[in-house]
Structure 1
């Protein structure tokens, strides 16, 4: 698709209007509280950014405030794992929608320790296992990868979130040990979980997240640098799984109403990929019952409608 003809002359003004409309909506949703450090975030933050393939970045609101990217980090982990594992990865994690909660244990038991897709927690833990197995320092590899994509050296993890994740990560530990019992975890479970909690604790702003994922909108090539981050086929595959499974149990509705590959995180961030155009990132910490940002959903939906960005 080519979204350029629908581009308005003043994108900042358009984003400010979308942000204002979102902030005027009745307050709904709750900040994630099952990780205590996330519950401390100001629930009234709200920001949005568009990073286009020509190198422009347009923002409104709190688009430069870093936040815990949580499950959005699963994209970075998946791309690294695909580069190292190739097609062998898909023997250990599948690419189907789950139809269950993102941290479901029951489904994993039924399906003999093979997660449905890499964007539910069990699938991301398998991906983390491949990274700990194939990198001597997987956490450093992850954060350096993110920094290089964003062209930003001062991206770090939030230590409070990291420690909170480790203390309160019992359900993720249960998933990992169950998969270990089915021989689908190779490294030590503690090392795998440490990597997983680390990547979820990375802090980025809307601006930097949108810039970092430009390669998914550009057939695997990072705009500005020309670096081939992944193959065209792998970019297609990541976007396909984002379309079917990136928004938890709201993925079908998001595809129906917005029509873009997207990934959310319980830190309140949402990224949406617009092929041949760029990447949108919205952030607001209040979540709906599916774990997706209420105002983030609203802003991206409105933007996609105004610019006619659906890939369908």
Structure 2
């Protein structure tokens, strides 16, 4: 009789520290692969010989390896949190202004906005994240303070902040984002001043966190919306499910299908080299390696998550 498979949610059979150490050793053999996001000047000088990985369990336990405590610019990983805040503010009304479909186009594309009358395909494209930013500006008295308080509470780290050098670099090189925002505004799908929305967007992208911060901060999506760091119900269990589904279908830009095939977890990447991932009901997970692939996702971060799911069986499939 065939022996039943192990339950992947049974973490007792895994030596997580040993697994993360093995992945760290494997990744170090490949340092130098990928290309940093040199179109944002402040990211161009980040060394490629960096890798960190961390996971956070609902009971507060953290396992980590590599450069897991080195801070970096989280960039588009921040879109997970601004989406959460936008949903908190206006709920289902958000979906009248942004869709929930994979794009198939690069993260900064303008192409579909013309055909779809200023409605972005999903909240994880730059266009969709600008809608979330607009909603936050309209519904919270101090949007910057709200975002910082949210990130500090989710990560349990009161020192989480922004990097003004990165934000300035984004402002000085963000011509396409300016075009996207004005295009959305031309269709009447933006309520606030375009520059105010862009400034908030650059602020969220300039948040500096490390892998441990990020693993803890995404843990609410692994625990039915409950944040263990602050003991707060951040969103409903259904809300967490919906955000996870969007991460799976759109969180790694136009590589989401391949990422699902290769890794098998809801995830959100950023061009700073960070990726957060969620094992529903089990853990929050984060990796960082600055070298990117041709789609703008961390090349070695993707490899590390692939190895983690294969070594543990912790995939949603």
Aligned-partner Cα distance in 1 for 2:185–2:99: 17
Aligned-partner Cα distance in 1 for 2:277–2:91: 25
Aligned-partner Cα distance in 1 for 2:149–2:43: 24
Superposed, which structure 2 residues align to 1:151-190 within 5 Å? 151-190=156-195
1:212 equivalent in structure 2: 217
Match of 2:129 among 124, 127, 132: 124
1:101 equivalent in structure 2: 106
2:241 equivalent in structure 1: 236
**Structure 2 length-normalised TM:** 0.96
2:3 equivalent in structure 1: none
1:30 is paired with a residue whose SS is coil
1:132 is paired with a residue whose SS is helix
Shift of 1:45: 1.0
8 Å Cα contact 1:101-1:248 kept in structure 2 = yes
1:81 equivalent in structure 2: 86
CA separation of 1:282 and 1:26: change in aligned 2, threshold 3 A:
closer
8 Å Cα contact 2:99-2:120 kept in structure 1 = yes
Match of 1:197 among 202, 218, 222: 202
Q: Is residue 307 from structure 1 mapped to residue 312 from structure 2 by the alignment?
A: yes
Match of 2:22 among 17, 25, 45: 17
8 Å Cα contact 1:74-1:124 kept in structure 2 = yes
The range that moved more, 4-13 or 48-57, is: 4-13
Aligned-partner Cα distance in 1 for 2:142–2:98: 23
Root mean square deviation of aligned Cα: 1.4
CA offsets 1:51-103 (integer angstroms, 9 cap, x no match): 11121100101000110000000001000000001110000001000011111
Superposed, which structure 2 residues align to 1:263-302 within 5 Å? 263-302=268-307
Shift of 1:26: 6.5
Shift of 1:4: 3.2
Shift of 1:41: 1.2
Q: Is residue 29 from structure 1 mapped to residue 39 from structure 2 by the alignment?
A: no
1:286 is paired with a residue whose SS is coil
Gaps of 5+ in 1: none
2:63 equivalent in structure 1: 58
Shift of 1:13: 2.0
Aligned-partner Cα distance in 2 for 1:218–1:267: 26
